[in-house]
Amino acid sequence: MSAQILTDWDAEKAQGFSKKNIIAKHNLHEREMFSDDGLIELLDRYPREQLGIYTMGKDPTKRQALRAGTAEGLSGADILEAVKHGRIWLNLRKANLALPEYRDLCADMFGDIEAQSPGVKTFKQDMGVLISSPDVQVYYHFDVPLVTLWQVRGVKRVWLYTPKEPFLQDEDIERVVLKETEEEVPFELAFDDSAQIIDLEPGLMATWPQFGPHRIVNHGVMNVSLSCEFQTYMSLVRANAAYANGVYRRNFGMTPSIYGNSGAELHFKAFSARVFKMLKLRKAFEYQIPKTFKIDPGADLGFSEV
Ligand SMILES: [Fe+2]
């Protein structure tokens, strides 16, 4: 039996898990692995070719300002230095597959969620460690799996929007599930009037319903967060139902919707998706952002042009 991580989880949170926005308390921020020395060691050991390195502008409506970069030949200490004063956003995707202590941490976190939430079973757990500069942002998007976001250092403002129209259209979900684009969905600043806004501080975790759009802006301080994606049986069914809807719309000229489907309808669509995938009716595109900068701890923005 591993240690308790969620410290204020209760029946109401367990009941709403994966269905509602939930803010909960945890104690991961007390761990030494997230100190500067721990992060430097993490950056030194994590496979450098897998490290996601990005920078972006300040306008939340101009996602085309997102750029990717490299960190060849730099030490973990160099990279952390650049993140602390620059405009860098690092994503150490699947850290749980790369490093044993993150594998154990990920298992303990999901083990604790399941232990404290009767009936909840999670699959396909994927822990991304996000280390990011003061004031950087993550543009409006949604994720196909479910997400738990755990804050361990710094503070970030998180806007959570309801996964329904006008914030998210069926076509948006289908485009992403069919891998026709990245997680891009149209955003208007007016959406913010209807968002739940949370300042996520160390020791807080946020989670929201599947496909829930969100965007994030760091406060003026370096942030460390754990973005843990996972699936449940029903989230897999819904993702596959959205895939089937995309095929119905594209190949059969229909106008399906995932909203308001019964469990039986979702299951039928998920079954259809398996058939469509076997028939290879749709082709997925892997879009890679070109890497146009390199991390440079001596530069004001923490990077220089290549
Ligand atoms: Fe996300």
Looking at residue 294, its pLDDT comes to 98
Helix axes 170-177, 233-252, angle to 10 degrees: 100
Does residue 73 sit within a domain?
yes
Does residue 303 sit within a domain?
no
If asked whether residues 130 and 202 sit together in one domain, one would say yes
Residues 144 and 59: their CA atoms lie apart, in Å, by 24
If asked whether residues 69 and 167 sit together in one domain, one would say yes
Ligand 1 center to 299 CA (angstroms)? 29
The domain in which residue 249 lies consists of 237-279
Does residue 289 sit within a domain?
no
Ligand 1 center to 226 CA (angstroms)? 11
Looking at residue 244, its pLDDT comes to 84
If asked whether residues 243 and 100 sit together in one domain, one would say no
Looking at residue 2, its pLDDT comes to 67
Per-state percent for the chain, helix, strand, coil, to nearest 5: 35, 25, 40
Looking at residue 30, its pLDDT comes to 96
Ligand 1 center to 280 CA (angstroms)? 28
Looking at residue 118, its pLDDT comes to 93
If asked whether residues 134 and 250 sit together in one domain, one would say no
Ligand 1 center to 22 CA (angstroms)? 15
If asked whether residues 120 and 70 sit together in one domain, one would say yes
* Mean pLDDT, contiguous 10-residue spans, the chain (306 residues): 88 96 98 98 97 97 95 97 98 97 97 95 96 98 95 98 93 85 85 98 98 97 97 90 83 85 87 83 80 97 96
Does residue 284 sit within a domain?
no
Helix axes 263-279, 233-252, angle to 10 degrees: 60
If asked whether residues 65 and 201 sit together in one domain, one would say yes
Does residue 302 sit within a domain?
no
pLDDT mean across residues, the chain: 93
Number of domains in the chain: 2
If asked whether residues 52 and 194 sit together in one domain, one would say yes
Residue 301: φ, ψ to 5° = -85, 0
Looking at residue 1, its pLDDT comes to 55
Looking at residue 297, its pLDDT comes to 97
If asked whether residues 183 and 254 sit together in one domain, one would say no
Tell me how many degrees the CA angle 164-167-169 measures, rounded to the nearest 5. 60
If asked whether residues 218 and 260 sit together in one domain, one would say no
Ligand 1 center to 231 CA (angstroms)? 14
Ligand 1 center to 213 CA (angstroms)? 8
